[in-house]
Amino acid sequence: MKKRKDLRGRNLKDCEDQMPDGRYRFRYAQGGKRKAVYSWKLVSTDKVPQGKRDCLSLRELEKNIEKDLSDGIDAHTAAKLTVIDLIRIYLGTKKNLKESTRQVYDDIIRRYITDTIGQQKLSSVRFSTMSKYFNDLSTVQGLKPHTIRNVYSILHPAFDMAVRDSYIRLNPTDGLFGEIKKDSVWQAEKRHALTPDEQRAFLNFLEESDTYRHYKPLFVFLLGTGTRIGEAIVLRWDDVDFSKNTISVNHAAQYLRGKDGVHIFKIDTPKTEAGHRTIPMFKEVREALRQERENQMRLGLRSKAEIDGYSNFIFVNGAGNVYAKENLNTLLRHIVSAYNEKERADAEKEHRESVLIRPFSLHNLRHTFCTRLIENDVNVKTVQEIMGHTNIQTTLNIYAEVTEAKKEETFANLEGKMLIS
């Protein structure tokens, strides 16, 4: 049988031919479908025609295809899909995502993925590609570790799906997050707990302040239950059992972007089963709730809001509506600033060192509650259940941080008492 030749007289293999424009073509079948790849070069030593982009030779492409076919890899699809296509397919499989989570994902994809790594073909993405991408997020864009972690949490499972669907052989983000965290530019965000002195100073200032006193029950509640702010602001009187001295956490607020771009409150069940929990009430929390009710009766306030069928909320603003998280964080900044200003002035008058409070957010109050539990040797499993941590590692990380500080304090107190000199 006469061999087919290219324009240079070289023998072509079966399924190879040369197009009228000079490109080489290799045709093959996969999954019952006819597919083809093209190259300006037959072998790697050939030169690409002037003005054409360099590429793998046809024979190199054939070797890759043979390996992919042997391993069941659908490289043809991978060469057509972009990373953003892959993410859309992946999110399409996540039918049970809560709306708030989906909106967070959409925002991250729009801001950090779509116009960058999202435009790359799936087949061209390597570990080095992703390493450079994440390094740029950190060093060029200056993203915080929490945001980078969120980007990774979208890309990694999407690439995992591509591996399972045999589009690619390996996940290009495997092991990458560990490498990112080792980098010198990676500074993990550490939430600090209020020290006992800061906590006492904060609560005493609230009690003595005519401006901020009526907010004290809310902050005592947060410091005494460790609830997330989204859980606390939509807690109802129905969720408090004064006879059993318990609080039932069974729903949380979400602040979602509506179709018209306006943000709206929604209420949904906790994201995880661990979020459903019962918290025993300290007497200070019970007293704070009693005080909140008295304050509202004295001021003629009542909960007017109804959100997704929920009503009778405990903590409401002057208009009878639930608080917005952003407004409460702003309030906290004002309170800390007012306290520090007063404390500096008092300390100067009394010729003593001032006891200032470091800036903190609402979530620091939750972290403070967890820290106080651990400092008082509460069992780590109990702490996990009260906090509603899905992963005990989250609890253990705080546990390790607190016990390290306690270890140093314990050894300092043992100085000179060990009878070793």
DSSP character string of 94-145: -TT--HHHHHHHHHHIIIIITTTGGGSBGGG--HHHHHHHHHHHHHTS---H
Residue 49 dihedral angles phi and psi, to the nearest 5°:
-55, 150
What is the set of domains in the chain, with CATH numbers?
A: 16-71 (3.30.160.60), 83-182 (1.10.150.130), 196-410 (1.10.443.10)
User: What is the CB neighbour count within 10 angstroms for residue 75?
Assistant: 23
Q: What CA–CA distance (Å, rounded) separates 257 from 110?
A: 14
CA angle, 154 then 109 then 189, to 5°: 65
pLDDT in tens, the chain (421 residues): 567 899 999 999 999 999 999 999 999 887 678 889 999 999 999 999 999 999 999 999 998 888 877 777 777 788 889 999 999 999 999 988 887 788 889 999 999 999 999 999 998 999 999 999 999 998 889 888 888 999 999 999 999 999 998 889 899 999 888 887 776 555 555 678 999 999 999 999 999 999 999 999 999 999 999 999 999 999 999 999 999 999 999 999 987 766 666 667 888 888 778 889 999 999 999 999 999 999 888 888 878 888 989 999 999 998 889 999 999 999 999 999 999 999 999 999 999 999 999 999 999 999 999 999 998 989 999 999 999 998 888 888 888 878 777 777 777 777 877 777 6
What's the token pair of residue 95?
Answer: 């039918």
> Which backbone phi and psi does 345 adopt, to 5 degrees?
-65, -45
DSSP classification of residue 268: E
Cα–Cα separations (whole angstroms), residue 324 to 101, 178, 266, 366: 18, 36, 12, 17
Dihedral class, residue 250 (left if φ above 0, else alpha if ψ from -120 to 50, else beta): alpha
